[in-house]
Amino acid sequence: MPKKTTKTLRSYRWYGPDTLRTFSHRSRAASMGCIQADYAGKPVIAIINTWSDLNPCHSQLRECAEDVKRGVWQAGGFPVEMPAMTLGETFQKPSTMMYRNLLAMETEELLRSYPADGCVLLGGCDKTTPALLMGAISMNLPAIYVPAGPMLRGNWRGQTLGSGADVMKYWAERRAGSIGQQAWLEIEEGIARSAGTCMTMGTASTMTSVAETLGFSLPGASSIPAVDSNHAKMANRSGRRIVEMVWEDLKPRDILTAASFQNAMVAVLALSGSTNAVIHMIALAGRAGIRVTLDQFDELSRRTPVLANLRPSGKYLMEDFYYAGGLPALLDALSPHLELACATATGKSIGENIAGSEIYNSDVIRSLDNPVFSSGGLAILRGNLATTRWTRESTIPLSMSTRTRYWCCAMRVPKALPACRNGATCPSLRNC
Amino acid sequence: MPEWGNLPIPQKLLKAGVRDMVRISDARMSGTNYGTCVLHVSPESFVGGPLALLNEGDIVALDVEQRRLDMCVSEEELSRRRQAWRPRQDIYPRGYGKLFLAHIKQAEEGCDFDFLEGIAAIPEPEIH
């Protein structure tokens, strides 16, 4: 049963009543070619798009927005695309981290200040995922996350290249003098072969997996390569689903619970995901009034096996992960560690979403009895100032003030130190 | 919090075949990177966190099993360094950077702005 009626839609206040102001809204909609039948009584779906010419991870998002719109129209909604600042990891300085909260604010205020009944969030590059979600959680309108999707595998002289890790690896080799300028240029042109986010289990895929596990994306969405036609179909389906979610009034804070955050933490650990997830998940939870602690991460890390054999801590890339069954297959294998009753954007529980998912390559996605590592790759460290009451002397107007503080940090623990062909030890690139 | 956690390995170590080393940083690094990295040390050195007090030549003990990270420096010496530490000021005299510095929380708290946390209701905009 729909919980919303046409007159209780948020957008009704902009379009519905017979007033001077709503006349302006309708007349200006008309100036863009819209007739009343396009939007009257329909959920207005804001497609928040972080496309930019300076964000290669999102270079396909203009086409992706069209796929979402098609789904929204088909389901009886009125799609409106709204550009938001992009956080392009490679180009933005001094750090995209400085601007995560600005995009979060922009997302929240775009949704608040315009006639949006629900939203589809288009992001994927590292900080865009937490930023868009933080804004949407704070605004608490029905929301679906459409992740940009990872790039195809990199390729250099027949060798598979992975984002980030191989840059550091071959940069070290170049500085050591073992590869030359020509090889370096070939690597430069071979490591990023398509639109999409880094295709290792870096922050982008870690955070899109978090979004999916929290229940913000359709099942499997985070694993689909950006340029696979299944990605366009996922975007289309997301557009259809968000319209239903508006009528059902299914909002982020109806979905998010302490248990869903714990599920996402377990997923990060089983993926051997990025340490940056710790920071972003604490922030996301803070927007929902839920407390996520460093101790939870550490405790879960000790008992969560790594099942995804993905770089930088394993062997394969996101394209392989998708073909092996993707995140639903991994979560299904991990199900004894999950709270399966958690709600999701589909309207079903996460347990229902992943039921029956199969693993198609048991080396890429391992089972609980054959994990990559028996425990997680994150450790929370505390140190010699942990019990010191330390009064900050500075006058910088930061939010932290005099209080007991712990010296805390997250660490990605290298698990394997196999010998490389060149005889050097290498913590992660086991196939190098 | 730039991506300085994955500090490059010095060239003379690379030439000697070393391909990993322990890095400790209050910054982050790309999640695509690898190696033995202790990240997000909090509170950060910018606000006078413990890394700001660490000097070249100090011994640091890292014990992952026990989840400990300690600098082997006496409390008296740390106290002396704390007294001598001076904050950097006026990096951003105006603009977003100024807002950022005024409200950013530390890594262990999620790095959100303090005024953005929580679920307090905000009124819908008036239509006029």
The DSSP-derived string for A120-145 is EEEE-STTHHHHHHHHHHHHT--EEE
The span from the CA of A128 to the CA of A104, in Å, is: 8
Q: Sorting pLDDT into bands at 50, 70 and 90, what band is A103?
A: very high
How many CB atoms neighbour CB B9 within 10 A?
A: 19
Mark out the alpha helices in A75-195 (DSSP H runs): 100-113, 128-139, 165-175, 181-190
CB nearest A383 (choices: B19, B70, B89): B70
Of the candidates A13, A101, A206, the beta carbon closest to that of B113 is on A101
Tokens of A159: 């060798």
Inside any domain, residue B1? no
How far is the C-alpha of A268 from the C-alpha of A310, rounded, in Å? 12
pLDDT band at A163 (very low <50, low <70, confident <90, very high): confident
**% of chain B surpassing 90 pLDDT:** 39
Tell if the CB–CB gap between B85 and A393 is shorter than 8 Å: yes
Q: How many other β-carbons are positioned within 10 Å of the β-carbon of residue A54?
A: 11
Residue B1: per-residue pLDDT: 45
The average confidence (pLDDT) of chain A is 89
Q: What is the 3 state secondary structure string of A319-365?
A: HHHHHCCHHHHHHHHCHHHCCCCCECCCCCEHHHHHCCCCCCCCCCE
- Per mean pLDDT, which range of A17-26, A148-157, A388-397, A408-417 is the poorest? A388-397
pTM: predicted TM-score of the whole model, two decimal places: 0.90
Whether B3 is in a domain gets the answer: no
Closest chain B residue to the Cα of A24, Cα to Cα: B128
CA distance B8 to B20: 9
The answer to whether the CB atoms of B11 and A274 lie below 8 A apart is: no
The pLDDT of residue A189 is 94
B42 is catalytic: no
Q: What pLDDT digit, counting tens, does each position of B79-104 carry?
A: 999 999 998 877 899 999 999 999 99
- The answer to whether B53 and B85 have CB atoms below 8 angstroms apart is yes
Chain B touched by A94 (CB under 8 Å): yes
What is residue B108's predicted lDDT score, i.e. its pLDDT? 87
Whole-number pLDDT of residue B4? 58
Phi and psi at residue A21, to the nearest 5°: -65, -45
Greater model confidence, A171 or A348: A348
- Window 132-161 of A: residues touching B by CB (8 A cutoff) are 134, 138, 140
Nearest residue in chain A measured CA to CA from B25: A409
CATH 3.90.1150.10 fits A42-153+193-412, yes or no: no
Nearest CA in chain B to A116: B124
Residue A397 in this model has a pLDDT that exceeds 50:
no
CB-CB under 8 Å, A429 with B116: no
Q: How confident is the model at residue A390 (pLDDT cuts 50, 70, 90)?
A: very low
pLDDT value for A421: 32
In a domain, B127, yes or no: no
Q: Establish if B108 belongs to a structural domain.
A: yes
CB A288 within 8 A of CB A177: no
Residue-wise pLDDT tens digits, A121-142 = 999 999 999 999 999 999 999 9
Host domain of residue B62? 11-115
Chain A hits for B37, CB-CB cut-off 8 Å, are 275, 411-412
User: Mean pLDDT across the stretch A218-245?
Assistant: 98
> Using CA atoms, how far apart are residues B22 and A76, in angstroms rounded to an integer?
56
Please tell me the predicted confidence (pLDDT) of residue A384.
61
Chain A (413-432) residues lying within 8 Å, Cβ to Cβ, of chain B? 413-414, 420, 422-429
Partner-chain contact A202 B32, CB within 8 Å: yes
* Chain A residues within 8 A of B28 when measuring between CB atoms: 97, 275-276, 279
Name the residue with higher pLDDT: A410 or A1. A1
Whether omega before A312 lies within 30 degrees of 0, making that bond cis, reads: yes
- The answer to whether A214 touches A255, Cβ cutoff 8 Å, is yes
Q: Is residue B59 part of a domain?
A: yes
**Residue A283: its chain B contacts at CB < 8 A?**
110-112
What is the arithmetic mean of pLDDT over A94-119? 97
pLDDT grade for A387, boundaries at 50, 70 and 90: very low
Residue B84 lies in a domain: yes
pLDDT the model gives residue A412: 53
Which residue from A minimizes the CA distance to B1? A97
Nearest CB to B33; choose among A98, A112, A165: A165
Is residue B121 a part of any domain in this protein?
Answer: no
DSSP class of A7 = G
The predicted pLDDT at position A400 comes to: 25
- Predicted confidence (pLDDT) at residue A424 exceeds the cutoff of 80: no
User: If you average pLDDT over residues A297-315, what whole number do you get?
Assistant: 92
Average of per-residue pLDDT across A171-197? 92
Q: What is the pLDDT of chain B when averaged over all its residues?
A: 85
pLDDT band at A405 (very low <50, low <70, confident <90, very high): very low
**Domains: count for chain B:** 1
Burial level of B84, CB count in 10 A (0-12/13-18/19+)?
exposed
Residues of A with Cβ-Cβ distance to B31 under 8 angstroms:
126, 164, 198, 200-204, 206, 273-277, 312
What is the pLDDT, as a whole number, of residue B15?
Answer: 84
Any B CB within 8 A of A195 CB: no
Q: What is the pLDDT of residue A388?
A: 26
- pLDDT of the residue at A385: 43
Helices A294-303 and A276-287, interaxial angle, to 10°? 130
pLDDT at A319 over 90: yes
Query: Which of A51-55, A257-261, A281-285, B46-50 has the weakest average pLDDT?
Result: B46-50
What is the identity of the amino acid at A148? A
Task: Render pLDDT for B39-65 as a digit per residue (tens, 0 to 9).
Answer: 888 888 888 888 899 999 999 888 888
In a domain? residue B24: yes
The reply to whether A200 touches chain B by the CB within 8 Å rule is yes
pLDDT for the residue A398: 25
For chain A, what percent of residues have pLDDT higher than 90? 78
Mean pLDDT of B4-11: 71
